[in-house]
Structure 1
Amino acid sequence: MGEIARSPRMQYHAVSLANQASYNVDLVGFSGGECWPEITSNPKIQQHYIQPVQVPTSIANIYVLEKLYKVFFQIFYLFWTLMTIPRPDFILVQTPPAIPILHIAILVSWFRWCKLVIDWHNYGFTILQVSGKANWIVSLYYFYESFFGRFANYHFCVSNTMKEDIRNKWNINAIVLYDRPPEIFKPASLVSQHKLFLKQKFGKTPNPLLNAGSSVTAFTKKEHREIEIRKDRPVLIVSSTSWTADEDFEILFSAMRIIDNYIKGKFQIRLVITGKGDMRAHYEAIIQNLNLTHIKIYTAYLSYEDYITLLGSADIGICLHYSSSGVDLPMKIVDMYGCHLPTLAYSYKA
């Protein structure tokens, strides 16, 4: 139960089921952002958006009441949607978040005589733990996931470590389904790079026009219809994030301070952090006060096509995801691998 456009794994599932298995697929979730062209142009895939819940201001700052209010109306909207779309053979649920989707999906699978499949990509209760939520809230979420999760007919998960953990923890037998980058993730052509840098702030240069028919960015230049990489281009570093508590960007910013002092004008760096989430404004305020000389940091939320081009144009990828459970794997690394992008990431047991 999230924004469809921000769930690449579910979009992968939808495209694979439609193209490889010839299933008709109904994608259910919240609106926001643009889904992949493979989703929007596919006649076998239909999108159904859940109406967002507007919380009254009188309870907006009371955590428990706000969540209960949202859950109640999300349950109603979700149940109504799942009961009115064409009867499915399978309901595939990605979790977390588990609340309120799991028990609703179970009821609908019973009423409509279909199979329920859960795709586990982490545990919701561990995300609440690292977010500092009260112990009773974490315990309630743990019970909900462990109890209702057992009612599914089939289970996927993202790593062998998680497969063993969920079997030992909750006696759930899951099949490991590793993420793989789609073929569209690949090194970007010079034409694609030049177009991206011309329109995005992180690619701009003070004097973008050389003369008629020519143009220049911080990374590329076009003269006489020929595009080439600038010899004085900055190093391009990219990091993708959902701006959540399990990614600590203070570490990256501290490293940028050290590097900024070390390079002393030998070269320039442009760091682009893509994505949107609750903590974006918090970190943007920190970025404003870094006072770096040779490094520029940009935040952006890009279209799917521009995001792929950015990864295919970069020199280094950085993933600061540290699993709240220690058993899930971040999909953003898979995308970087598809673009042949050298990647720095945390090492943990998954």
Structure 2
Amino acid sequence: MKNLLYISPLPQDSQTGGANAVNYHIYKQLEKHFNCTYVQINPKESKLGKWRSQFLRKILRRPGRFNFYSKKRLRQIAKQFDAIQGNYDMVFFRGFTPWIACQPRVPYFAYNDVHFLQFFKNTFNYHQFLKQDIKRICLAEKKWLIKAEKLFFESQWGANQCHDDYAIKVVKLKSIGRGGNIPIPKKDTYSGSLNLVVIANNFYQKGGDLVFEAFKLLKQNHKTLQLHIIGGHPGQNVEATKGVVYHGFLYKEQCKDLVQLEAVLAHAFLLMHVTREDVNPLVPTEAGYFGCPTVSVNHFAIPELIVHNKTGILLDYLPKPKGIAAVVESLILDKESYFIMRKATAQFNKETFAWNQIGEVLKTILNKEC
């Protein structure tokens, strides 16, 4: 069995949040096929540099530096990596950008959702940061990615964007997908409740405000409709609205929270994920295991997760509350189509998003390349 060094900025056993969950499961798969060593490298960001950048951007309204990937911090990461390079056959990096100053002595691979420039475009505006600083990071990342044996992506969309922005050869880019992070139920136990569900650390960024406005429109004609919110607080005005149930954060590592989350998904009519920024969210997959369709946007990698009009509804980015309410109401009124969709949703997600399949793909490629 070959020796693999796994490098991640994340704690090994955390499953809270999509990034941690994917990190946890991909390592578990690699452990099945390789003699793995897990090392977390994540030096703290300079407080002074962070404060200076925020002061420039938010107070003076001038562009700042992208301090999290400063030259100093990247050198610290590289130094920590050099200290633990040992007798390994390969290195597997979770993510791209933190490692762009690292120089492995053996073949290396990396797995991510998107490259830095795509993350930046999804999250920020160009005027917020110095152009030369963003260019510095992108050029360093491109050089590092080109030297990798293979780059794995959670979606084909992510791989395509990397190719388009960095002109990396298609043969080096491989979409392997990702699974969910919740026990897969044996059967669909939905009993007819009209519960809309939003799962989001940041209510606004995941389109919760749009869903809330749609919910208020729907509530006028559908009195039993409820809006269940899991994650970050949506605001007092939202929580105080009749029909809204706020569950707070639910942590899958805690048995009580996991049971509560499973119950919410089992009784969900629709998952509402009208996101402003998600590339490849886990929640449509996890809800889909329960047979719950998702209403989301036809953007990012989401069309790879939801088959329009079969396992959910994809709306043009970014939809208005009236448009959201209209598609929800159409499913409320057409029960036959809705239950056909539930069956297709469970089947599609269970067959498509499975970690064991991803592990087999990685085993084959890594053994071939090394």
Residue 152 (structure 1) shift: 1.2
1:300-311 alignment, distance < 5 Å: 300-305=249-254, 308-311=258-261
Residues 154 and 176 of structure 2 are in contact (CA less than 8 Å); yes or no, is this contact kept in structure 1? yes
Q: Distance in 1 between matches of 2:39 and 2:187?
A: 30
Q: Does 1:269 align with 2:226?
A: yes
Q: Distance in 2 between matches of 1:24 and 1:10?
A: 14
Any idea what SS the aligned residue of 1:271 has?
strand
Residue 121 (structure 1) shift: 1.0
Residue 17 (structure 1) shift: 1.1
Residues 273 and 299 of structure 1 are in contact (CA less than 8 Å); yes or no, is this contact kept in structure 2? yes
User: For this pair of structures, how many residues does the alignment match?
Assistant: 268
Instruction: Show the counterpart of 1:319.
Output: 273
- Deviations 1:241-277 (Å, cap 9, x if unpaired)? 342986332211211221333333xx25251222xxx
Choose which of 240, 243, 247 in structure 2 pairs with 1:294: 243
Q: Does 1:92 align with 2:92?
A: yes
- Deviations 1:31-53 (Å, cap 9, x if unpaired)? xxxxxxxxxxxxxxxxxxx3433
Q: Distance in 2 between matches of 1:146 and 1:257?
A: 47
Overall identity of the aligned pairs, in %: 6
**Cα pair distance change 1:323/1:94, threshold 3 Å:** farther
> RMSD between aligned alpha carbons?
3.8
Letter in 1 for 2:246: I
Q: Does 1:255 align with 2:214?
A: yes
1:22-61 alignment, distance < 5 Å: 22-29=34-41, 50-53=42-45, 55-56=47-48, 59=52, 61=55
**Cα pair distance change 1:66/1:304, threshold 3 Å:** farther
Residues 158 and 179 of structure 1 are in contact (CA less than 8 Å); yes or no, is this contact kept in structure 2? yes
Choose which of 290, 293, 303 in structure 2 pairs with 1:342: 293
**Cα pair distance change 1:180/1:82, threshold 3 Å:** same
Any idea what SS the aligned residue of 1:284 has?
coil
**Cα pair distance change 1:240/1:104, threshold 3 Å:** farther
Q: Which runs of 5+ in 2 are unaligned?
A: 1-7, 58-62, 305-370
**Cα pair distance change 1:130/1:161, threshold 3 Å:** closer
Choose which of 127, 144, 154 in structure 2 pairs with 1:148: 144
Instruction: Show the counterpart of 1:133.
Output: 125
Q: Does 1:104 align with 2:101?
A: yes
Instruction: Show the counterpart of 2:185.
Output: 186
**Cα pair distance change 1:130/1:13, threshold 3 Å:** closer
Q: Distance in 1 between matches of 2:75 and 2:67?
A: 13
Residue 115 (structure 1) shift: 1.7
Higher helix share: 2
**Cα pair distance change 1:239/1:284, threshold 3 Å:** closer
Any idea what SS the aligned residue of 1:292 has?
coil
Q: Distance in 1 between matches of 2:286 and 2:293?
A: 11
Q: Distance in 2 between matches of 1:269 and 1:144?
A: 48
Q: Does 1:171 align with 2:184?
A: no
**Cα pair distance change 1:244/1:72, threshold 3 Å:** farther
What's the TM-score once normalised by structure 1's chain length?
0.62
Residue 117 (structure 1) shift: 0.9
Residue 235 (structure 1) shift: 5.1
Residues 187 and 312 of structure 1 are in contact (CA less than 8 Å); yes or no, is this contact kept in structure 2? no
**Cα pair distance change 1:295/1:289, threshold 3 Å:** closer
Residue 12 (structure 1) shift: 1.1
**Cα pair distance change 1:244/1:254, threshold 3 Å:** closer
Any idea what SS the aligned residue of 2:214 has?
helix
Q: Distance in 2 between matches of 1:148 and 1:320?
A: 34
Letter in 2 for 1:104: A
Residues 229 and 244 of structure 2 are in contact (CA less than 8 Å); yes or no, is this contact kept in structure 1? no
